[in-house]
Structure 1
Amino acid sequence: MTATATRAPERAATGEASALAGLGAMVRFMLRRDRIKFPAWTLGLALFVVYIGSALPVIAPTEQELTASVPMLQQPIGRMFTGPAYGLDAITYERFFSAGYVAYLYIVAALMTIFLVTRHTRTEEQTGRAELIRANVVGRHTPLTAALVVALITSLVAGLLVTATAVSQGFAVTGSVLVGLGVVFVALCFAGITAVTVQLTEYSRAAAGLAGAILGLAFIIRALGDMAAIGGSALSWASPLGWATQTAPFVLDRWWPLALVAALAVAAVVVAYLLQARRDLGAGLVAARQGRPEAGRWLAGPWGLAARLQRSAILAWGGGIVALGVVDGLFTQTMLDVGDTMPEALGQVFGSDALATGYLAFLAVFSGYMTAAYVVYSVQALRAEERSGRGEAVLATPTSRVAWAGSHLGVVALGASGIMLVTGLLTGTAAAAVTGTWSFVADSVLAHANLLPAVLVVLGLCALVFGWLPRFLGIIGWTMVGVMFFVGNFAPMMDAPQWLIDLSPLSHPANYPVEEFEIVPVLVLAGIALTGVLVGLVGLTRREVLQRG
């Protein structure tokens, strides 16, 4: 009895210490795996600051032109998009940057850690790799702790780069540091929130989706609060994004709201550890809903299965893109109200001196590269089906590789088409509702339909890479989306070379409704998209399935 009583505390102490066994090795392993994603996210945030800092003097080279742009941010719709609009009564470039763009830095930083924590925790458990790792000398809490440490390192590097690039643009040091710290704390806050969501569900998509929904809810609450009044309202203080924007960099330079973000991050991490201690490896605290004992007829073939697997992405991405389109459409009258005083460079972005038609054309382009992002994401889901082994299970049935992959690509094409057309319809309807010009509905639908073949070119490119070089699918696909985003937003203002502009498929169709519709570019782009899909399917039939990378 004495020996047993003596050893019990020793075992307890050993068990407590071993809960984080192998932490250093796990952190190094995760950083090694993120050797591409780490610089992509952190440098991307810094480059965003560089682009905005460089573009603002081009858009509004004089104080009068900068002042003329202020009403876009001061209007309730503008505040909904950007934030509480502090300091616009004495506008400077750094204050315009803070009022108009810093909120989006925080959103991107939050997405960065949502994907990071999900990738290194729930995805590892879902695929079974976590069980292999836990078979070594690895503690129960080591993977989650390592993921949070990597999130901390990534957030700190991102914050340092954002601060340095803001200072390099001539912005005040105090405000730049505050923006960088906002990036760090918001990123860590949503890392903690994601650490909770990965405990609740068995699936990585559901965990990331739940964390993303919380981010979306935080944005909506902040947006409604900031719409109520310049400087925000009580509702603005109910959102972690609202806390970050209430620091008012370059105006009030308040530090204490970041303490609220930090407190939420710490509370979320504590809850995550408590929940992890109550569940089994690979399981979620919320049990997965059991499916029907028998599948419906529509699931009997590859098209039905592909539609079921792609359904969530279509609804999530489509809902977000359509919602943004509606809000943008409601902003049309505000754009017209300030059109006479708007800087000339914005006319270059819209591609027309006729502000209404130029704005509708720009919204179609915006929907185009958002839908292109959906396409890349959805084709990556097909790659995930292959790497997980589920694709191999489908191919073990009388289903050919072409039918399996082709059905997924076909569903993605239909999803992209539906997203573009519905967004065009509702964007035009919103614009018509606030302006009373109902011809905007047809113009918006046709503008979006005109760009659909360009979006499908991205599908063709992704199919081509998936068929022949699948390990490079994410890099090439997201790089193309980045090029499209840059060309659509910055190329006209920064006198980008024509060869760079031509890299974006969206730059080739006519700029409808500013320009007359042209059928030839549409047909050529459609042909390129179809060729890419066909050649990609040929490549799939000639390579090894489950080619990892």
Structure 2
Amino acid sequence: MSARDTAWTGTGTLLRAALRRDRVMAAVWVYALTASVAGTAVSLRRLYPTPAARASFARTVATDGTLRALYGPVLDPATTGGLTAWRMGSLGAALAGLMGVLIVVRHTRDEEESGRLELLAAGAVGRYAPLTAALLAGCAAAGALAVAVFAALVALGQGAAGSLALGGALGGAAVMFAAVAAVAAQLARGGRLARGVGGAVLGAAFLLRVAGDARGDALGWWSPLGWTAYARPFAAERWWLFAAMAAFAGVLTAVAFRLAARRDLGAGLLGDRPGAPVAGRWLRGPLGLAWRLHRGALAGWTVAFAVTGALAGGAASGAAGLIEGNARVGDLIRALGGTRRLDDAYLSAMTGLLGLVAAVQAVQAVLRIRAEETSGRAEPVLAGAVGRVRWALSHLAFAMAGPAVALAVGGVATGLAYGSGVPRLLAAALAEVPAVWVAGAVAALLAGAVPRAAQAAWAVPAGALLLGQLGPVLGAPRWAMDLSPFTHLPRLPSPVPVPPAPYLWLTLASLALTAASLTALRRRDVF
């Protein structure tokens, strides 16, 4: 057997292992994205039941630059599928791309960083087998997403060709950014940096698509996320763009394999900066170490919240005008926002969405505790004069304070872009913090008491997102809505005073869960 043949030895075994590890995470991603697309189609069919109503909606979108930039133009207002493609095409493609990045980095750079890949490489595993298995796992998730979206839309009565194009566009985005992550995994030395590089490319592609749609020129064609929208699902589909997506992914995949052949296992092609010969005073305690570990993610989340808040504030006036003539849409926005004024209701709904995203940030930061433990980096810290509780609290401090800072920045950015009401919108954003803390505290409890099930903490923000966005549309029962901590918060901004009791109870619940997590961490073995 030639060396070229042995380079892929063990790919099938690693692929089966990757699919087994991803059976929960990938299923949650596929379910959440498919449910979002299907729920959007159901809600739009109820809100705009006639071609005339859909045409009026599309004309209003065309006249509002912010909405057109955020979601793109409505290419086919004649069908519910066309509106669904407008609403979920860009956002869904960005989320699908994020799924691809996370899956590939998990099975490449994270495996190297943990040392597991070195053990596998000592056996009958070829040089290219881990990268190949990771890319195939990402493609499997992308294919499952495309099939699920296609089946859901067809079941809802939408056209087969448009449903296939929209499902293929979302799956294509996942494949393209899986290839981006494969290259990032060869460049970066750590999984955190690889995810950061992949996320930065994804964010740049999204902003490039936004700029192209805002200006109405060809700038969006330079973005891979622009291709997913310009494939025109439900509107004279451009099937040739799927060949462009495949070519993009193929070129990056070839680059990734070329780079993999040039580097040592565990090394990255981007050189590490030499550190200071002596650590500063700030790094001599667990809090300083936690700040060093969390500062990059905190900066990235804060920038993302500022951009999202600015886009939401800029679209507020246009969105209020968009729904004034449709009583059904107005009722839905009021149900999501909780106030009678349409502009306040829209801003409240957007602030609630920021809170849900902040819950993702909190869970991610809390799970850093578990990552430090499993990687072995926590062991030398705890071997010194640092207790478990103090070590865990240093990470929890940033997990709880970081989302509050990001929400404050997002609230201020929303107010500035809206043109008024900065203090009100800042208060509305900070009002989401107690519910965010509950999500983070649940993650802390799982990491402290049931460490092997720590990843299940992602179910809290995922479930809250689905209940918050689709619950009012689909008429979910009250007991189901109450499962989300965000349901218990009054919706702000509001013209009437709100009771302080929900904020107090949610804060106390988060403190109790955090205390329970620290108690459990003290009593179990660290491994």
User: Aligning the two structures, in what range does the TM-score lie when normalised by the shorter sequence?
Assistant: over 0.9
Aligned-residue identity in percent = 35
Question: Taking structure 1 as the reference length, what is the TM-score of the superposition?
Answer: 0.92
Report the CA distance between 1:325 and its aligned residue: 0.9
In structure 2, the residue matched to 1:212 is 199
**Cα offset, 1:63, TM superposition:** 4.5
Note the alpha carbon deviations across 1:333-375, whole angstroms, 9 max, x for none. Answer: 2123334214333332232331122122222211111101100
**Alignment of structure 1 residues 332-343 onto 2, 5 Å:** 332-342=316-326, 343=329
Kindly indicate whether residue 481 of structure 2 is the aligned counterpart of residue 501 of structure 1: yes
Deviation at 1:292, TM superposition (A): 1.2
Q: Are the counterparts in 2 of residues 460 and 529 from structure 1 also a CA contact under 8 Å?
A: yes
- 2: CA distance between counterparts of 1:512 and 1:269? 47
| Residue 517 (str. 1) matches residue 494 (str. 2) | no
Q: What residue in structure 2 maps to residue 33 of structure 1?
A: 21
- Give the alignment of 1:18-417 within 5 angstroms: 18-71=6-59, 73-74=61-62, 75-88=64-77, 91-229=78-216, 233-342=217-326, 343-344=329-330, 345-417=332-404
Letter in 2 for 1:482: A
C-alpha displacement at 1:276, in angstroms? 0.9
Indicate conservation of the 8 Å contact 2:287/2:395, yes or no: yes
CA contact under 8 A between 2:333 and 2:349: conserved in structure 1? no
Q: More displaced, 26-35 or 302-311?
A: 26-35
Q: 1:211-259 CA deviation, whole Å, 9 max, x = no partner?
A: 1111111111111111122xxx211111111112111111111101122
TM-fit CA distance, 1:61: 4.0
Evaluate the alpha carbon distance shift between residue 528 and residue 68 of structure 1 in structure 2; reply closer, same or farther with a 3 A threshold.
Answer: farther
SS of equivalent to 1:331? helix
Aligned counterparts of 2:202 and 2:364: Cα–Cα separation in 1: 19
Greater mean deviation of Cα atoms: 456-465 or 378-387: 456-465
Structure 1, unaligned stretches of length 5 or more?
1-12, 433-437
Structure-1 separation of matches of 2:132 and 2:377: 30
Q: Give the AA of the match of 1:110.
A: G
Tell me by how many angstroms 1:48 deviates. Answer: 2.1
Decide which moves more: 22-31 or 324-333.
Answer: 22-31
More divergent stretch after superposition (514-523 vs 94-103): 514-523
Paired residues for 1:450-469 under 5 Å:
450-469=431-450
Q: Which residue of 2 aligns with 1:489?
A: 469
CA distance in 1, matches of 2:60, 2:201: 27
User: In structure 1, how many angstroms separate the alpha carbons of the residues matched to 2:415 and 2:475?
Assistant: 30
Contact 1:194–1:211 under 8 Å retained in 2: yes
Q: Deviations over 1:41-71 (max 9, x none)?
A: 2233322222122222233345554445335
> Retained in 2: the 8 A contact 1:329–1:429?
yes
CA distance, structure 1, for counterparts of residue 335 and residue 273 of structure 2:
52
Q: Tell me which moved more, 100-109 or 390-399.
A: 100-109
Q: In the alignment, does 2:17 pair up with 1:17?
A: no
Residues 57-101 of structure 1: per-residue CA shift (max 9 Å, x gap)? 23334555444533564222112221243123xx32111001111
Partner Cα distance (1:153, 1:421) in 2: 39
Gaps of 5+ in 2: none
Distance change >3 Å, CA 448–CA 177, structure 1 → 2? same
Aligned-partner Cα distance in 1 for 2:324–2:398: 44
Aligned-residue offset at 1:543? 0.9
Name whichever of 74-83 and 373-382 sits farther off. 74-83
Deviation per CA, 1:390-432: give whole Å up to 9, x if none.
Answer: 1111101100100000111012211122112221122112112
How many Å separate the matches in 2 of 1:387 and 1:55?
43
Partners of 1:134 and 1:289 in 2: CA distance: 28
Q: Is the 8 A contact 1:71 1:338 kept in 2?
A: no
Asked if the contact 2:74/2:86 (under 8 Å) is kept, the reply is yes
Amino acid at match of 2:464: M
The alignment's C-alpha RMSD in Å is: 1.6
CA 1:69–1:474: 2 relative to 1, 3 Å: farther
Please identify, of 401-410 and 493-502, the stretch whose mean Cα deviation from structure 2 is larger. 493-502
SS of 1:480's equivalent? helix
Instruction: Give the conservation status (yes or no) of the 8 Å contact 1:510–1:516.
Output: no
1:3 maps to what in 2?
Answer: none
Check whether the contact 1:73–1:82 (CA below 8 A) recurs between aligned residues.
Answer: no
Instruction: Quickly say closer, same or farther: Cα 1:310–1:175, change in 2 above 3 A.
Output: same
Aligned length: 522
Q: Which amino acid counterpart does residue 218 of structure 1 have in structure 2?
A: A
Aligned partners of 2:277, 2:47: CA distance in 1, in Å? 60
Q: What is the CA–CA distance in structure 1 between the aligned matches of 2:190 and 2:109, rounded to whole Å?
A: 7
Distance (whole Å) between structure 2 residues aligned to residue 239 and residue 128 of structure 1: 36
Deviates more, 1:70-79 or 1:273-282: 70-79
Alignment-derived partner of residue 7 in structure 1: none
Q: Are 1:529 and 2:519 an aligned pair?
A: no
Using the TM superposition, name which of 186-195 and 59-68 deviates more: 59-68
User: 2-side partners of 1:526 and 1:101: how far apart?
Assistant: 34
Q: Which residue of 2 aligns with 1:9?
A: none
TM norm structure 2: 0.95
Bigger Rg over Cα: 1
TM-fit CA distance, 1:144: 0.8
Counterpart CA distance in 2 for 1:158 and 1:37 is 13
* SS at 1:287 equivalent: coil
Equivalent position SS for 2:209: helix
Letter of the aligned partner of 2:255 in structure 1?
Answer: V
Q: What letter is aligned with 1:368?
A: G
Measured in 1, the distance between the counterparts of 2:401 and 2:236 equals: 49
**Structure-1 separation of matches of 2:206 and 2:500:** 40
- Secondary structure in 2 aligned to 1:69? helix
Shift of 1:305: 1.0
Aligned to 2:455: 474
Q: 1:545 Cα deviation (Å)?
A: 0.8
Deviation at 1:380, TM superposition (A): 1.2
